[in-house]
A and B are shown apart, each in its own frame.
Chain A
Amino acid sequence: QKEVEQNSGPLSVPEGAIASLNCTYSDRGSQSFFWYRQYSGKSPELIMFIYSNGDKEDGRFTAQLNKASQYVSLLIRDSQPSDSATYLCAVARGTGNQFYFGTGTSLTVIP
């Protein structure tokens, strides 16, 4: 079983819509959860992190964490063409300090 699983997509949404990205993880001891955005040919850049159950909002982005279900999601409101990228979910274990990434979900926002 992979540490972090994501639907690879591709996911297409019209401009202005809400994009919903999902991620599950296998280690119940995982401590920290992250969403990264990666444009083609570029390195991953951090969008959000979340440590506690519930929602965390930052501008158009909302991260949601449910530790009981081992589930993390990212909502992008008012999606823009510039949001078109691959979104990577990452999980850090509490011990060993290892960061694991999902394979990423490709998002296309259609003008």
Chain B
Amino acid sequence: TAGITQAPTSQILAAGRSMTLRCTQDMRHNAMYWYRQDLGLGLRLIHYSNTAGTTGKGEVPDGYSVSRANTDDFPLTLASAVPSQTSVYFCASSEQGWTEAFFGQGTRLTVV
């Protein structure tokens, strides 16, 4: 079973360039989330979506945007990357917002 798939697995990106991190789930979950994980700071919520067509801001949304055109896909876009966005990014989904979340394998992004 695929669950949640993220792409790419890793990427080196020049500062100032844009990039979209892809996330697809096949569990028909309503809620989806994007987190970044940095050493000592844990997992921090960037954006979330309760259901297709709606999105919300998490703890650290600046510099990121998301869309939720359908149930399965929840891409994260960096419009103009900066070195402080170097991190491991995890996409997650849950059936409802209060039920357990399942994670993708992560995307390691380095902005140079």
* Chains A and B come from one and the same complex: yes
Q: Does B42 contact A (CB under 8 A)?
A: yes
With both chains docked as a complex, state the minimum distance between the C-beta of B66 and any C-beta of chain A, in angstroms: 14
Q: List 11 A-B contacts (CB under 8 A).
A: A31-B98, A32-B98, A43-B103, A43-B105, A43-B106, A44-B43, A44-B103, A97-B96, A99-B48, A99-B101, A103-B40
CB-based contact A99/B90 at 8 Å: no
> Given the known A-B contacts A32-B99, A43-B104, are A103 and B42 also in contact in the complex, defined by CB atoms under 8 Å?
yes
> Given the known A-B contacts A98-B48, A101-B43, are A92 and B105 also in contact in the complex, defined by CB atoms under 8 Å?
no
> Given the known A-B contacts A32-B99, A46-B100, A92-B97, are A97 and B105 also in contact in the complex, defined by CB atoms under 8 Å?
no
CB-based contact A99/B92 at 8 Å: yes
CB-based contact A34/B103 at 8 Å: no
Grouping DSSP codes into helix (H, G, I), strand (E, B) and loop, the A interface class, with mixed when no group exceeds half, is strand
CB-based contact A96/B42 at 8 Å: no
Give the CA-CA distance A101 to B60 in the complex, in Å: 13
Q: Does B58 contact A (CB under 8 A)?
A: yes
A-B contact count (CB 8 A): 63
Residues in B whose Cβ lies below 8 Å from that of A61: none
CB-based contact B42/A88 at 8 Å: yes
Residues in A whose Cβ lies below 8 Å from that of B101: 34, 46, 90, 99
Give the CA-CA distance A92 to B33 in the complex, in Å: 12
Q: Does B64 contact A (CB under 8 A)?
A: no
Q: 9 new A-B pairs (CB below 8 Å) besides A31-B98, A46-B102, A98-B97?
A: A8-B40, A34-B100, A43-B103, A44-B43, A92-B98, A92-B99, A98-B48, A99-B101, A101-B35
Residues in A whose Cβ lies below 8 Å from that of B2: none
Contact of A44 among B31, B50, B90, B98 (CB under 8 A): B90
With both chains docked as a complex, state the minimum distance between the C-beta of B95 and any C-beta of chain A, in angstroms: 11
Residues in A whose Cβ lies below 8 Å from that of B31: 97
Give the CA-CA distance A46 to B3 in the complex, in Å: 14
Give the CA-CA distance A99 to B90 in the complex, in Å: 13
